[in-house]
């Protein structure tokens, strides 16, 4: 089955700086790569996703890049704000989703 690895497990940045979270996957059949944000006591919320026919996607301060050859994808958050503090999960799959272990992002005001 698919194996998704996510790094780093924790990340602290100053407000206004950028944050980058990286994931790798193992199954070349995976064709869908979403990113979720989870706040305390809540379920994961989709923030951006990318499909295998696209190399990059951007939505305001959030961008995702995908390198299918290397089997890795990354989340980029620019101009971070305190409300970006949360746990972020990457996922990969084709019929099912396999999740990374999460990155706890702390944005320091």
Partner 1 sequence: DAGVIQSPRHEVTEMGQEVTLRCKPISGHDYLFWYRQTMMRGLELLIYFNNNVPIDDSGMPEDRFSAKMPNASFSTLKIQPSEPRDSAVYFCASSRDSISNQPQHFGDGTRLSIL
Contact call for residue 101 and partner 1 (CB under 8 A): yes
Among 25, 73, 93, 107, binds partner 1 (CB under 8 A): 93
- In whole angstroms, what is the distance from residue 88 CA to residue 35 CA? 7
- In whole angstroms, what is the distance from residue 107 CA to residue 57 CA? 23
Nearer of residues 99 and 106 to partner 1, judged by Cβ? 99
Q: How far is the CB of 109 from partner 1 (least distance, A)?
A: 27
Phi then psi for 18, rounded to 5 degrees? Answer: -95, 155
* Interface stretch with partner 1, choices 12-20, 60-68, 76-84, 96-104 (CB under 8 A): 96-104
- In whole angstroms, what is the distance from residue 40 CA to residue 27 CA? 31
Q: Which residues contact 99 (CB under 8 A, 6 or more apart)?
A: 4, 36, 89, 90, 91
- Residue 8: asked if its preceding bond is cis (omega within 30°), the reply is yes
Contact call for residue 96 and partner 1 (CB under 8 A): yes
Contact call for residue 3 and partner 1 (CB under 8 A): no
What is the per-residue binding string for partner 1 in 21-50, x denoting contact by CB under 8 A?
Answer: ----------xx-x-x----xxxxxx--x-
Binding site for partner 1 (CB under 8 A): 31-32, 34, 36, 41-46, 49, 51, 89, 93-102
């Amino acid at each position: 089955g698919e194996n998704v690895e996510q790094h780093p497990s924790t990340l602290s940045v100053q407000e206004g700086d950028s944050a980058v979270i990286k994931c790798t996957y193992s199954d070349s059949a995976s064709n869908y790569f979403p990113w979720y944000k989870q706040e305390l006591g809540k379920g994961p919320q989709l923030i951006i996703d990318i499909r295998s026919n696209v190399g990059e996607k951007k939505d305001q301060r959030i961008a995702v890049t995908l390198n299918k050859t290397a089997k890795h994808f990354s989340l980029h958050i620019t101009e971070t704000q305190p409300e970006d503090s949360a746990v972020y999960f990457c996922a990969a799959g084709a019929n099912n989703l396999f999740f990374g272990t999460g990155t706890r992002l702390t944005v320091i005001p």
